[in-house]
Each structure stands twice: as structure tokens, then as C-alpha cells.
Structure 1
Amino acid sequence: MAWFILILAGIGEVIGVAGISRINKRRDWQAFLLLFGGFIISFLLLSVAMKTLAMGTAYAVWTGIGTVGSALMGMLFYGESKDWKRILFIAMVLSAAVGLKLIS
């Protein structure tokens, strides 16, 4: 269950980053709701997951989910580069997070 909560925390981080991107385009209450809501939910869920999971593992996986999710969101929705080298390094981050799950 802690791993599922940690995945939800990572998704919350991606939502918070989407809020940052939206604030850069227009400053409305919905952008701030995405920003603060995403990060508050993310931190709360991370703290719940860390009651069971090791701190280093939980934090590394959480940041990995946020990094990969944000990069994919940028590529899919904001026209960022889809260069094969970028995708390779995103895959490396993802494989490191999966590796931490497998050894924990």
C-alpha cells in the first residue's frame, strides 16, 4: 500500500509542476490551485508513504516519478524536444526508480 501511496504522491508532484507552468502563462486562481493543491497532496502522501518505506528510497522514487512525469508532460503537452537522447535518460531515471523498488 505504501508504494501505491508513493506513486500518488509522485503524480501530485507532477500536478504541482503543471501549476508552475500554468502560472508562467497566466496567473489565475486555477493555476495557483494546481500548484498548491498538487504539492500539498504530494508532500502529505509522501509523508504517509515514509512511515513504511525507507526515507532514501521513498524520496528517490518520489523525485524520479516527478522528474519523469514532468518531462513526459512537457514533451506531450508543451512541445518540448522528443530527442532520442532525452528519452534514453528519462528511461534511465525510470529504471533507477524501478530498481529501488525491486531491492526494497
Structure 2
Amino acid sequence: MPWIILVLAGLFEVAFTTCLKLSQNFTNLKWSVAFFLSITMSFYLLNQAIKSIPMGTAYAVWTGIGAAGTVLVGILLFQEPASTLRLLFLILLISSIIGLKVVA
């Protein structure tokens, strides 16, 4: 269960970074509220996960999910570049997240 909570925390991190962009520097109220709700949930769930998962591992996985997810959102929703090298490093990042789960 702690790993599911940690993955949810990472997904809320993707949500808050996406909402941050959509908030247009906090001028769009709907996306600004969504940002604050998402960031609150992300940190709350991370806090719950580190009760059972080592803090360093949990933080690395949380930020990795957030980084990888945000890159994918950027590519899929905001037409950011999807170069071969960028995708290669994204695969390496995801592999590292899986590796941390395997050894934890």
C-alpha cells in the first residue's frame, strides 16, 4: 500500500506542475486552485509514504515520477520536442525509478 500511495503522490506532482503552467502565472483561478489542491495532495501522500518507505528512496521515486510524467505531459499536451536523446534519457529515468523500487 505505501508504494501505491507514493505513486499517487508522484501523479499529483505531475498534476500540480501541469496546473502551474495552465494557471498562467496564477491569473487563471480554476487552474490556480487545481494547482494548490494538487500540490497539497502530493505532499500529503508523500508524507504518508515515507512512514514505511525510506525517505531517500521515496523522494527519489516521487521526483522521478513527477519529472518523467511532466516530460510526457509536455510532449503530449504542449508540443514540446520529443527528440531521440530526450526520449532515451526519459527511458533511463523511468528505469532508475523501477530500479529503486526493486532494491528497496
**TM-score normalised by the chain length of structure 1:** 0.96
Measured in 2, the distance between the counterparts of 1:7 and 1:49 equals: 9
Q: Give CA-to-partner distance per residue, 1:17-68, whole Å, 9 cap, x none.
A: 0111112277222111221111100000000000000000000000000000
* Percent of paired sites with the same residue: 38
Q: Supply the RMSD in Å over aligned alpha carbons.
A: 1.2
Which residue of structure 2 lines up, in the alignment, with residue 11 of structure 1? 11
SS at structure 2 position matched to 1:27? coil
Structure 1: gaps of 5 or more residues: none
Partner Cα separation in structure 2 for residue 101 and residue 50 of structure 1: 14
Residue pair 1:18, 1:34 contacting (<8 A) in 2 also: no
Structure 2: tracts of 5 or more residues without a match: none
> Which residue of 2 is the match for residue 35 of structure 1?
35
Distance in 2 between residues matched to 1:26 and 1:5, nearest whole Å? 28
TM-score calculated relative to the size of structure 2: 0.96
Moved over 4 A (4+): none
